Amino acid sequence: MTTTETAVSKKEQLKGKTLSELKEWFLANSEPSFRGEQVFNWMYNHLAEDYSEMLNISKDLRKKLDEKTILNTLRITDKKVSSSEGTVKLLLKTAQDNLIECVIIPEEKRCTLCISSQVGCPLDCKFCATGIMGYKRNLTPGEIFDQYAIAQRNYDRAISNIVYMGMGEPLLNFKNTVKSLEIFAEELTTGISLKKVTVSTAGIAPKIKELADTGLKPKLALSLHSCFEEIRSKIMPINDKYSLSETIKSVFYYAEKTGTRITFEYVMLKDINDRIEDADALVKLCRRIPSKVNIIPFNSLQHINPKGISAELIPTSKKEIEKFANYLRDKNITVMVRDTQGSDIAAACGQLAITQTA
């Protein structure tokens, strides 16, 4: 880290403050509260990179802000574009030199940004590269938002959807995740309504209920991956802390309280969760709750030399995945089979892991 960066990182971070917090901040700094609304608009709507862009704010105040606060929390250090589908993976660095990733996934009718909520992840799901790299720290609300700001500034199509499905477990960084959702939800912001934002969790049962009680109503995705306690514990150690039955109860609470449909994420692992009894258990669960199943082909983790169970996991074949999906469809379950977009640049689901030294 250079001396300048050390100095910069000691400044106060304005990005990540909600509208009311910004108004209070300006009042506390002897400025009218409407300045808070103006800066909010520049940061979160116009995605300004520099205070000099904020033309309805006086030069003197812009200079003061520049001296006292930090506007950008992340910078791009690498950009990879998938040769086949145009998926873009951005490697970003925080002021403390932590590395995180976000991924832009363009599709015909929408363009989704997958963002990270932590540097690494403490949950160690056996099919996930991020889990294997371990946990460093929570991201601030500003760093969560800045992934969107940087991605949008560097991409010519409008990002229409956001998924908290990158590195980390968003509900273990609850306060900052909720704050970032509050910023996205604000009318003055990006224009992306929370109906287009999905929070994905491995199943932090009490926090799922707490999220429902915030009234924010983003969509919820549960990384389910098995309907059987024993199998789920084997591939997702968090299941030993919050059992599947407890997690499902909180997911039911979420669906009822928010009136939203739950997505069950299901990564297909040969002979582990792709048997007929797995499909039947999934049908039984889906019939009890407004939901859909998102089937994810397992992506190789060989790029990070996995050990233990992770090294033994084998992807279910494409043909078997289709068979499994059709079995569910025949029982009137809504099923999507996700493609392995971005696998050539290790940007596909479960592949995000920093291989450089952070």
Active site residues: 101, 349
Task: Pick the binder of ligand SF4 from 82, 112, 130, 189 (CB under 6 A).
Answer: 130
Q: How many residues bind ligand SF4 (CB under 6 A)?
A: 12
Backbone angles phi, psi at 266, to 5 degrees: -145, 100
Q: Which stretch binds ligand SF4 (CB under 6 A): 88-96, 122-130, 144-152, 327-335?
A: 122-130
Work out whether 131 is an interface residue with ligand SF4 (CB under 6 A): yes
Report 216-275 residues binding ligand SF4 (CB under 6 A).
223
Q: Minimum distance from CB of 291 to ligand SF4 (Å)?
A: 19
Site map (CB under 6 A) of ligand SF4, residues 149-168, x = contact: ------------------xx
Q: What is the 3-state secondary structure (H, E, C) of the chain?
A: CCHHHHHHHCCEECECECHHHHHHHHHHCCCCCHHHHHHHHHHHHCCCCCHHHCCCCCHHHHHHHHHHEECCCEEEEEEEECCCCCCEEEEEEECCCCEEEEEEEECCCCEEEECCCEEECCCCCCCCHHHHHCEEEECCHHHHHHHHHHHHHCCCCCCCEEEECCCCCHHHHHHHHHHHHHHHHCCCCCCCCHHHEEEEECCCHHHHHHHHHCCCCCEEEEECCCCCHHHHHHHCHHHHCCCHHHHHHHHHHHHHHHCCCEEEEEEEECCCCCCHHHHHHHHHHHCCCCEEEEEEECCCCHHHCCCCHHHHCCECCHHHHHHHHHHHHHCCCCEEECCCCCHHHCCCCCCCCCCCCC
Q: Minimum distance from CB of 157 to ligand SF4 (Å)?
A: 26
Q: Minimum distance from CB of 294 to ligand SF4 (Å)?
A: 13
Q: Which stretch binds ligand SF4 (CB under 6 A): 8-16, 43-51, 59-67, 123-131?
A: 123-131
Task: Pick the binder of ligand SF4 from 71, 88, 123, 345 (CB under 6 A).
Answer: 123
Q: Minimum distance from CB of 356 to ligand SF4 (Å)?
A: 18
Work out whether 111 is an interface residue with ligand SF4 (CB under 6 A): no
Comparing CB distances to ligand SF4, the nearer of 229 and 277 is 229
Task: Pick the binder of ligand SF4 from 104, 114, 202, 251 (CB under 6 A).
Answer: 202
Comparing CB distances to ligand SF4, the nearer of 86 and 237 is 237
Q: Minimum distance from CB of 48 to ligand SF4 (Å)?
A: 31
Work out whether 125 is an interface residue with ligand SF4 (CB under 6 A): yes
Work out whether 169 is an interface residue with ligand SF4 (CB under 6 A): yes
Residues at the interface with ligand SF4 (CB under 6 A): 121, 123-125, 128, 130-131, 167-169, 202, 223
